[in-house]
Chain A
Amino acid sequence: MRFLIFNFFLLSTLISQLNISGQTQLGLGKSKNSFDYTEHRLGLNLDWNQWNGWLEFEYAKPPELGRKFIGLRKFRLEYLNKNVTVKVGDIYEYWGRGLILNMIDDQSIDLDNGIKGGLFNWSDDSFGFEVLAGKQNIWRVSNQVPNFNDRVPNYKINNSIYGGRTMLSLEKLSGSLQLLNIVEDHLDPTLNTNKNINHQLMGFDINYFGNFFDLGIDYVKKDNNSYGIFSIVNLYIGSWAIGFAYKNYNFSKRSPFSRWDFVNNTTGATILQQMPTAFNEHSTTLLGKITHIMDYNDNLGFNLSLTKSIFNDALFSMNYSSSSRHSEWAIDESFNWKQYRSVKALPSNNALFNPFKEFIVEVNGQLFKNRLNYVTAIAVTQDVLDVFSNNYNLGGHTYSYEFLEAVSFPNQFTYSLTDKYSIDIRYEYQEIKKGVQQRVASSTSDIFISNYLKDKQINRFISLGLARSPKWSINLAFDYSNTDERIVIDSKRDQNAIENIFNGLWDTSLTWASLAFSYNINSNNRVSFTYGSLRGGVHCSNGVCRYIQPFENGLKVSLISAF
């Protein structure tokens, strides 16, 4: 009994010194097309004076995206005082704008490029240095190895990492010098052997934050022959903000045949390099589905943005992005891809350089004493997705490439009916022309073969919502198309009850309908249910995109709690 009392007081004393907080996230999904998942994450933060412990447990069998896992997923012990930070365990850091190092754990796209290791940082108001070392095991999706699946990564890369940086910070000027060494343990699937590949990166960043303008330059040199540059200037003139961003990522120039194959090509940007994209990140459904997928190895371009505060608390913004690859590739007499010509400083408009252009104008603001919030925009997108062939021979110039042209009108209106009730209406309209443009020998004009059964795909996304603050919201959404890609249209759909109700009004065979309900149980707990179907496509989070398969006629449940 004495032993028990002693232990109890000892534990109580220790525990009363220790502050514990955490959160849980539970996600369940079941659909007719077997997109089933069960995932539960429990994150715990333990604070004791200047120490912090972080634990993350996971039960994912299977997760929505990624590999099955049950157990302790992440842990970190951190010590923090005025000048010193020490971390041991799972580390996520970023240096500069991510040209050398940008570690992210983003479950929504299954990207986790953090390391298990240690970090030491010393810094005061003007000077600092940091060293880190650790190991990294990353799973990625590749069609170059067996068991390819959009949802479950099938290729593992092991990295050993060490590096350091020094930072200098003055009143308005700051900068850092960075060095990073990565030893990659790379499996060659053809020979079934592992090889060690050494990547050395060094770089710097310089930043100026003034009252009237900001300036930032980041540079990285990788190994001896590749580099990346990103720079940005923001000017503030009255109510205008004018931004210009420039990128030149030249880590590995690859032919159209091998440019996405990271299994058999070991050069190029590493997974730790998550760099600025210099194009607009979309937050609307239909524009999100045609987000440009960028190759960090070979990209050159710029982004110009104008933002201005206009009448009645409205904001006008205009964004123009343009980029391309550095080189045009052509097939020679021996049927090998060779670099045919290149650009160095500015992107090319030639289709065989895979150009991407996007122009967006958006107005958003409030009206009627903040009762109405509106967003209305127009976006024009042009993207050459892939080059299939390109020949210069005696018969003339022949080529074929896949391209996309789209015009999108996303609109959203939220109106407060009373202090508690509000309605939300979203209407997005999009026209897409997508297909293969080709020129055959002896012809002087191009032939266009649409990817769709019709010349154009017309998409409409309509969503109607009712909400009662601060408790609940309910939302009915329809994602409609007039046609789909030939390779997709053959896959069998499983219509849900909502689609069946509306089937009499229009043909719902290409309508994905869903009903979502969210309820804030109290300030620490929130539950959401989604019934119906969600269309597959490119899903992007914080600038990283991946394809996510459709969710057909099912139910998703999510519960989040904090304590």
Chain B
Amino acid sequence: MNKRLFLIIMIFFSFIYSQTSIAGLKLTKMNGKKVKLNSYLNKGPVLMNFWATWCAPCKKEMVHLNILQKKYSKEGLSILAVSTDSQKSLSKVRSYIRTRKYSFDIILDPNEQLFKRMNASIMPTDILIGKDGKILWRHYGYLPGDEKYIEAEIRNALRID
């Protein structure tokens, strides 16, 4: 009985200490072309932000994400705004981003397969991925002021300060 318990505990800890690597993921851009997550990770860490045009807190957060993208893009940060708008409302995504003049890349996930693959649950969800493809931090929802914590995590990932 003790041996079995020991084995279960060891397996459990092996699970816990193993880290998720998702660098090989294929992403779909606005123009339908595929791009690997690796191509962003080669430059530095990636903040994956799941949003939709109908999600009000997501839109509030995007204003700040755009500021962070501009501030840290030279250090290698890429912010990927993953739109979970279904095919029914996808046509509004590009015009929204264009008129807002947001500089981050838009990734499409209309049937939420990437959303599930990244273990996201609600919108918005932010997932910070290190250069080595390991998930460093995640954040659910958006409350005004959260941008300060997001920036602190980005600075940690970029090893600034």
Contacts and interface: CB of A to CB of B under 8 A. Distances in A.
B99 A239 contact: yes
A283 B98 contact: no
A453 B41 CA distance: 62
Interface stretch (A258-266, A342-350, A501-509, A520-528): A520-528
Interface string B96-140: 101111000000001111001101111000000000000101111
A366 B91 contact: no
A111 to B, nearest CB: 10
B135 to A, nearest CB: 7
Contacts of A290: none
Contacts of A412: 56
Given A240-B99, A305-B95, A21 B110 contact: no
Interface stretch (A7-15, A57-65, A148-156, A386-394): A7-15
A93 B60 contact: no
A229 B34 CA distance: 26
B117 A104 contact: no
Contacts of A275: 87-88
Given A172-B31, A276-B88, A523-B139, A241 B98 contact: yes
Contacts of A277: 88-89
Contact of A174 (B14, B31, B116): B31
Interface residues of A, number: 92
Interface in A237-257: 239-241, 243, 245
Given A274-B87, A469-B146, A543-B86, A15 B3 contact: no
Contacts of B141: 473, 518, 520, 526
Contacts of B88: 98, 274-277, 281, 542-544
B32 A174 contact: yes
B111 A283 contact: no
Interface residues of B, number: 65
B69 to A, nearest CB: 15
Given A11-B11, A169-B33, A542-B85, A414 B144 contact: yes
B14 A414 contact: no
Contacts of B63: 313, 366, 370, 373
Contact of A85 (B14, B26, B30, B112): B26
B143 interface: yes
The 4 nearest A-B residue pairs measured at CB = A469-B145, A543-B88, A241-B95, A542-B86
Interface of B: 3, 7, 10-11, 14-15, 18-22, 24, 26, 30-34, 52-56, 59-60, 63-64, 84-92, 94-96, 98-101, 110-113, 116-117, 119-122, 135, 137-141, 143-146, 148-149
